[in-house]
Amino acid sequence: MADYRFPKETELPRNGLSAQADATSHNEPPLRRKLNSAPRPAQVWRAWWTVGLLSSLYIISYIDRIIPSLLVGPLKAAFNVGDAHIGLLFGAAFAVFYGFLGLPAARLADRGNRKKLILAGVAIWSLCTIGSGLAGTFIALVLLRMGVAIGEAVLSPAAYSMIGSMFTPERRFLPSAIYAASGNVGTYGAYIAGASVLGWAASDGSVFFDRFSVWQVVFFCVGVPGLLIGILFFATTFEPVRDGDETTEASGLSQVTRFFFQHTHLFGGLFLGASLITIVIFAFGAWVPEYLHRSQGWSVEQAGLSYGITGLCCSVIGTLAFSSLAESLTRNGIRDGLVLVASAGAALGCAAAGLAAIQTNGIGALICLGVMVFCLTGCSNLIVISNQFTVPARFRATAIAIMFMCTILIGLGLGPPLVAWLSSISANPADLGPALAIISFAVLVPATALIYVTRKHYATQLERGVVD
């Protein structure tokens, strides 16, 4: 039980659930309260409740981010645009703002109240998602998607920082893996939810939204849950006390930059390797429903539901399996176990992605896609988690934001538009398979190599124990 860190009893707000849960502690003498460091069951429950709500918000953020991939046809018809415009909507329009604004948001998370920061972000992205359904022009839709990016940019850096404050290093694998896995739940749950809402909106939904098109109703429906969970999060959680290294004055950006430059061989390889992997992840994430629809003859609803269920199962299992394997290797003395597992996942995942894109039947493609998701999500989430062990706690959120900036700007900024461009210059522009295959096989070797060569540097940094 001593592996958890919580707010000091005297620092908790005197209202709501916290006042009831901790009423008896305020009657204890200060010395006894100080010596009684082991958290009570209520405190443990509070920590995991926070992880649960953060994970729920992460799921919703991905649903709101990815839902346009199921609306390619309706959006092209509504705004009279082509695949290139849709690739821009998926890619640069979101990536630029998400990538660059994540860093200042992380600096706020390292210095200020993470709970309030998360609430503000949730409100912005949820309202912009709802507003996307009211967009009258394609430019307006692009601007609103930028707003979604701005709001979502604050969540993960602040969330990982909160988790780092609540759990000691040896206990961060599980809550960090659960949070990371929830992103994958949201990624592939978006296809399931989108397909379900799409079917409902096309039939029964018209009774309630008779003045709106199907794509508008979908945006309305997926935007509301974020507001509700955000209110619940704000009402029932507490800002954790920054402990140990975190209690020192937050480092300036120059200090953070200097730290990364001092460890270029480690973070350069990990961050660039992760960025190349996300090119494949985001390319397939944006275009798989259309690929299965155009090349395999599936309906958009069937493609979304099938890929969503496959991806959901494989991503969660992959994230937890890769994290468990990396933890097991580390505990058994293989200090670079995390990097070894991540590099293997990169190689296998990119190969499976390439094979998925050249399959001649939908079932074969779906099986390969499942292997891709299992490996690449496990690999990418391990690289995120590595920051918990190699970066000083006082700028942990900033480090994660820098990594996200690299992966989003490169992966999301290039992946979806590259598919649209490569398909446009092919003999059959409607066939997305060759473009997806080229990207997958091109990324395989450099991504794997970049991650693998960091193993000695990772082991050295881990041994130094720089986090706490």
User: Among 86-95, 169-178, 203-212, which stretch is predicted with the lowest mean pLDDT?
Assistant: 203-212
Q: Are 416 and 287 in contact (CB under 8 A)?
A: yes
Which pLDDT value is given to residue 23?
36
pLDDT band at 186 (very low <50, low <70, confident <90, very high): confident
The fold of the 46-464 domain, in CATH, is Growth Hormone; Chain: A; (1.20.1250)
Q: How far is CA 198 from CA 99, 294, 320, in A?
A: 29, 18, 31
Phi, psi of 27 (to 5 degrees): -90, -5
Contact 286, 91 (CB under 8 A): yes
Q: How far apart are CA 389 and CA 396, in angstroms?
A: 9
Contacts of 205 (CB under 8 A, 6+ apart): 197, 214, 217
pLDDT per position as a tens digit, 145-180:
999 999 998 898 889 888 878 876 667 778 887 887
Q: CB count, 10 Å around CB of 97?
A: 20
* 245 vs 379: which has the higher pLDDT: 379
Give residue-wise pLDDT tens across range 53-76. 999 999 999 899 888 888 888 899
Residue 100 tokens, joined: 């660059």
Averaged pLDDT for residues 302-316: 91
Return the SS3 of 230: helix
With b meaning 16 or more CB within 10 Å and e meaning fewer, what string describes 13-37? eeeebbeebbeebeeeeeeeeeeee
For the stretch 118-149, pLDDT in tens is 999 999 999 999 999 999 999 999 999 999 99
Query: Which range, of 267-276, 341-350, 396-405, 417-426, averages the lowest pLDDT?
Result: 396-405
pLDDT digits (tens, 9 = 90+) for 11-56: 333 333 333 333 333 444 443 333 344 455 567 788 899 999 999 9
**Measured between alpha carbons, how far is 293 from 303 in angstroms, rounded to an integer?**
7
- Give me the half-sphere count of Cα atoms (radius 13 Å) on the Cβ side of residue 313: 10
* pTM, entire model: 0.73
Residue 51 and residue 167: Cα distance in Å, rounded? 11
pLDDT tens, residue by residue, 321-353? 998 999 888 888 888 889 999 999 999 999 999
What are the domain boundaries of the chain?
A: 46-464
Average pLDDT over residues 248-268: 74
